[in-house]
Structure 1
Amino acid sequence: MPKIFLFVVFLSQFGVAQIKVLDSLTNYPVSYATISFGNGQGIFADDEGEFFFSKKLYPDIDSLYISALGYKDLNVSTKTLPQQLLMQPQADQLDEVLIGTKLNRKFKKEILKPYLDDDYYNCWLPTIESEIAVYFPKTSTKDQKLSSITFPIALESKDWKKRNRSNSEKKKFSTLFKVQFYSNNKGLPHKTLTYQTIVFRATEKDGDSHQLNVEDYDIYVPKAGFYVSIQVMGYSDKSGKLLPNKKYKEIKSKNGVVKIPTNFRPLLPFTNEIKTKNTYIKRVFISGNEWVKFDKGNGFKSSLLDKNLFNYGVGITFKTYKDD
């Protein structure tokens, strides 16, 4: 509560306006819309389609680029920014996915276990401008339906000296993540497999992984396999409500102000136990930015690559159906 109160005071001092993103046909909120600033930075709307913005808070931003699954992109000037932004629905064809089909055939449950690690130095530090996707091939010619996804997480000990003890008290956090599923096109993530917005809240109580049940989304594995992605959205309250705050720090340097993205807990452990390189990275606030394999020589400077930690070891559970 003290943090929320201080932020409310901060907003009032800067005259920050609350903006709401709505569906132009239904006037329903567009949940978790992406608000890009056009300079590689941005923020997210919350579950009610709301976000905070003002020229005093973001003095160098003159345009906002709003995007969301199932809607046409929206470009608005910050000079005359209205309190409501209307987005037009755009139903693109989904790629190689069965939606809403119930299979009553017998099936075999299969599990691909996650790769866990609690070493701080083997972890990706989540920032909201980066989306991480992991590829999974289709393992059978038969129908396969996703049941759950297990995301490895690493916790930080409150006392650094006791970090190697399993019973050490962990730093608390409440963080919201967004999950998406993509088809495979020539070895890169392509079209989304569902337009439903999927989010989950992670806390230190999850332990070394968070299991997300996706059974009700009826996602079937395409012939060319699929990608599952994770993207941190920011800290949340206990109910999972996204908290409004700046997602980067501004540091003065000789060459001007440098914007450094904020790191969020939990950390995401990478592994060297997977033979193939299946992890891809995308910067979400750059329009038209392409997916790039997380590998040496692809423009990344990372201590993870220096240690040959190429993959985020996501686990999955799926059903492989028997023939009639």
Structure 2
Amino acid sequence: MIVRFTLFAFISFITFNVSAQTKLLDKESNNPVPFATISFGNGNGLFADDEGSFLFTKKLYSDIDTLYISSVGFKDFKIPTENLPKTITLEPFSNQLQEITITAKPKGKFRIKEIDPVFHNDYHQCWLPTIESEIAVFFPNKEKLPKRITKLYIPIKTEAKDWRTRNRKDTKKRKFSTLFRVQFYENIDGFPGEVINYGNIVFVATEENEKFYELNIKEHNIYIPKNGVFVSIQIMGFTDPKGKLLPNKKYQEVKTRRGIVKVSTTFRPLLPFTNTILEKRTFVKRIFLNDGNWILFDKKNISNSNLLAKGMNNYGIGLKAEVYYQNKD
């Protein structure tokens, strides 16, 4: 797949000092720790790339004196930013290994079940993604049968390069190349619980993807537990032409009469929400805020959402699964 990137991402990439990068390593294996979360403790932060590297300089973040680093399977780590080392080692949990659900593939007959994604072309009914946000959608297992997820259908909305031509079929699209991470969560009393560790599942979406991104995850052998599963997507940031995560600043500093205001950077593609799903099954969280707690996406929890004001309270992820209804010993 050919990936492209925006002018903003390109300028960001060539102007950053790559020598200031820090690398995260597993203390026991010395392997890189990919896609770790680096929080600033003030509601902002960034992510390591697939090689465990991240960029932090005082020139970029002059007001940050401490980093809080976390990753699934590792102990949280706190480090001052003064004289930040080139390498940081993270200690794995020695007595609390991340639980992995291992299920032997059933040998009986199965049928294919598909849940169609829900998408539309209305720019004004889309989520504007930012790095700190993650969206999780609940999928129940009403039949309590073994179900292996083989594909995910991730709704996206591209934008016209020229707003005046947005309704034309042949309009040129605004270019982007954005890395997403997909995670799966246990269902704990109707809320996303602990991450079910299937490794790092990521993909890159570009303006060439129409309506939804089709992600094949068959090789990961992901089964839906009897009480259901939450499927989440999270934007990690823009990528270079090879799909490698670029240093992405979570916010931009805007000078106003009242001083410097930090405005969250929004990323593309847009994520179309819908009012056609009756059940409230979409949850959101801010990675660097509110201790990363999940909340149901509805008016009781969020009072200033234009999407909720229009009744758009669900994100319509679709999936394809093998449903095993006759097992053989």
| DSSP-derived class of the 1:89 partner | coil
Q: 2:68 aligns with which of 57, 65, 69?
A: 65
Aligned length: 320
TM-aligned CA distance change 1:3 to 1:159, over 3 Å = closer
Quote the Cα distance in structure 1 between the aligned partners of 2:138 and 2:208: 28
1:121 maps to 124
| DSSP-derived class of the 2:260 partner | strand
Amino acid at match of 1:10: T
Q: What is the 5 A alignment of 1:181-220?
A: 181-220=184-223
Amino acid at match of 1:125: L
| Residue 216 of structure 1, CA deviation | 1.2
Structure 1-normalised TM-score? 0.93
2:319 maps to 316
Quote the Cα distance in structure 2 between the aligned partners of 1:246 and 1:54: 11
Are residue 11 (structure 1) and residue 16 (structure 2) matched?
A: yes
Q: What is the 5 A alignment of 1:19-30?
A: 19-30=22-33
| Residue 81 of structure 1, CA deviation | 1.4
Amino acid at match of 2:151: S
After superposition, the C-alpha distances for 1:136-163 in whole angstroms (9 at most, x for unaligned) are: 1013222111111110000101121221
Between stretches 150-159 and 245-254, larger displacement belongs to 245-254
2:170 maps to 167
| Residue 92 of structure 1, CA deviation | 3.6
| Residue 174 of structure 1, CA deviation | 0.6
After superposition, the C-alpha distances for 1:12-47 in whole angstroms (9 at most, x for unaligned) are: 4xx961100111111111111111111111111111
Quote the Cα distance in structure 2 between the aligned partners of 1:296 and 1:5: 38
| Residue 180 of structure 1, CA deviation | 0.4
Quote the Cα distance in structure 2 between the aligned partners of 1:304 and 1:7: 31
Asked whether the equivalents of residues 72 and 98 of structure 2 are also in contact (C-alpha less than 8 Å), the reply is: no
Are residue 229 (structure 1) and residue 238 (structure 2) matched?
A: no
Amino acid at match of 2:16: L
Q: 1:260 aligns with which of 260, 263, 266?
A: 263
After superposition, the C-alpha distances for 1:235-259 in whole angstroms (9 at most, x for unaligned) are: 1122210011322111233443221
Are residue 274 (structure 1) and residue 277 (structure 2) matched?
A: yes
| DSSP-derived class of the 2:124 partner | helix
Asked whether the equivalents of residues 38 and 47 of structure 2 are also in contact (C-alpha less than 8 Å), the reply is: yes
Amino acid at match of 2:115: L
**Identity of counterpart residues, as a percentage?**
48
Q: What is the 5 A alignment of 1:61-100?
A: 61-90=64-93, 91-94=96-99, 98-99=101-102
Give the aligned CA root-mean-square deviation in angstroms.
Answer: 1.9
Quote the Cα distance in structure 2 between the aligned partners of 1:136 and 1:42: 30
Between stretches 128-137 and 245-254, larger displacement belongs to 245-254
Are residue 139 (structure 1) and residue 151 (structure 2) matched?
A: no
Are residue 241 (structure 1) and residue 244 (structure 2) matched?
A: yes
| DSSP-derived class of the 1:304 partner | helix
Asked whether the equivalents of residues 149 and 322 of structure 2 are also in contact (C-alpha less than 8 Å), the reply is: yes
| Residue 183 of structure 1, CA deviation | 0.8
Q: What is the 5 A alignment of 1:141-156?
A: 141-156=144-159
1:307 maps to 310
Quote the Cα distance in structure 1 between the aligned partners of 2:10 and 2:307: 38
| Residue 166 of structure 1, CA deviation | 2.6
Quote the Cα distance in structure 1 between the aligned partners of 2:51 and 2:108: 39
Between stretches 255-264 and 77-86, larger displacement belongs to 255-264
Asked whether the equivalents of residues 98 and 197 of structure 2 are also in contact (C-alpha less than 8 Å), the reply is: no
| DSSP-derived class of the 1:288 partner | helix
Quote the Cα distance in structure 2 between the aligned partners of 1:78 and 1:269: 38
Asked whether the equivalents of residues 124 and 268 of structure 1 are also in contact (C-alpha less than 8 Å), the reply is: yes
Asked whether the equivalents of residues 36 and 286 of structure 1 are also in contact (C-alpha less than 8 Å), the reply is: no
